[in-house]
Chain A
């Protein structure tokens, strides 16, 4: 393992040197590819602390009573699956284990309905859950603002049927779920700004607790909701997903990806420091040449 780390460091330094010497950024791409591929092939266990906002979300879900009604959203496109799907999977492990009644929905037309269908059916199979009794997939509806507001009055008016076209009144799980008043918790996994509407429309107007899973690009702006107490926990990017996987005891793709994540981050830090050092050294030498 020490030999592997040594080789990784040497390769990174050599590629960085070549990149700076030739000015060809493809050496940087090659180094990043190297640091991503290597940990996928060989398991590296790098230490990582669980973030407080992830623990907050885990504890909020964990404290829900048995058979609570939870709305899990799949508001993401296939392009961000690497970050978001592990969140949905970890959430489903936790919710199915707690025997929560889950209904899923999406406001994303491209991929959202099929991702929700694939992931929920696979995980439900592992826990022996029955479709229509323990969980249901409501699918996609256009115009998310109208959907989010309309579900406050009547879910059935927005979703007369589930994703497969079955009328909601034929699904036992939906008998007691009429609107947000019957929902105990919302777990919104998203790769876009719809989180703002979940917070400003559903949380603010209906007072339902909302925990979120968002991509890393989005995470910094949602810390404001966390610190104001409007949001009940957040999973930020692959790190958040990996933390939640660890907490539910099901480390999977996100947890495995974190070693690569850490190595690439170290390489980028090294590149930034080296780039700045070279910049200042060249500036100084140019100034000296100017004095001559």
Chain B
């Protein structure tokens, strides 16, 4: 382990333990680590955007390739800063209008073509009487889940009678979905803890002992 790696490992371990210390109670180590993280992230992000957007995507192509028209998105971007002025704040709305129109145009097509239509198609065509009985039951459950969940979110008529019954079944599907999400979320959070514990035991303690012995 080189000296740089050694120091890096110790710095990571220090900040990991500082952040974990919050589990016992709030303390200066936790606050210090939190502030360092916020400051470093902001600084890194500003530097990266300056280099990868302003320089690489605007200044360099304009000066080196003669793509002078890139000045227009540059001006639109600069107009966003007018929000800091009380008198000229309205100028930023022109840039925002461009972003909103552009985004709506792109996503309208991609969401419809890539998500809504294929999902509806796959739900409608999932039942096939020739498929094995297990798959057939699952297909029917999926269709029932989609229809009853949609009924639950239909608020133009009071949830009574048949509509109310279907909405109650819809709630069950939603609850099962929440349960699955919660289970996976537990797994995700524990995975992050496992990753840091593996680092502390293998890299920090193990690496330090290896370097010393």
Contact = CB atoms under 8 A, between A and B. Distances in A.
Interface of A: 26, 29, 32-33, 36-37, 40-41, 79-83, 109-110, 140-142, 145, 149, 196-197, 199-201, 203-205, 215-217, 219-220, 224, 227-230, 236-239, 253, 256-257, 260-261, 264-265, 268
Nearest to B122: A228
A26 B115 CA distance: 43
Interface string B177-206: 100110011111011111111100110000
A82 B195 CA distance: 5
B110 A36 contact: no
B24 interface: yes
Contacts of A110: 41, 44-45, 48
Contacts of A80: 192
Contacts of B121: 228
In the A-B complex, the 9 residue pairs with the smallest Cβ-Cβ separation, listed nearest first, are A82-B195, A200-B114, A204-B114, A228-B122, A216-B188, A238-B191, A216-B187, A257-B194, A200-B110
Contacts of B195: 81-83, 253, 257
Contacts of A217: 181, 184-185, 188
Interface in B10-43: 23-24, 41
B53 interface: yes
B193 to A, nearest CB: 6
Interface of B: 23-24, 41, 44-45, 48-49, 52-53, 57, 103, 106, 110-111, 113-115, 118-119, 121-122, 126, 142, 177, 180-181, 184-188, 190-198, 201-202
Given A82-B195, A199-B114, A237 B24 contact: no
Given A199-B114, A200-B110, A204-B113, A261 B194 contact: yes
Nearest to B24: A26
Given A142-B49, A228-B122, A82 B184 contact: no
A197 B111 CA distance: 9
B115 A196 contact: yes
Q: Is the interface of B mostly helix, strand, loop or mixed?
A: helix
A256 B198 contact: yes
B53 A142 contact: yes
19 contacts: A29-B23, A32-B190, A37-B197, A40-B197, A109-B45, A109-B49, A110-B48, A199-B114, A199-B115, A204-B110, A204-B114, A216-B185, A220-B177, A220-B180, A228-B122, A260-B190, A260-B194, A261-B190, A265-B186
A40 B132 CA distance: 43
Contacts of A230: 114, 118
Contacts of A200: 110-111, 113-115
Given A36-B193, A199-B114, A220-B177, A109 B52 contact: yes
A254 to B, nearest CB: 8
Contact of A82 (B24, B106, B119, B196): B196
B39 to A, nearest CB: 13
Nearest to B188: A216
B124 to A, nearest CB: 11
A142 B52 contact: yes
A85 to B, nearest CB: 8
Contacts of B201: 37, 40-41
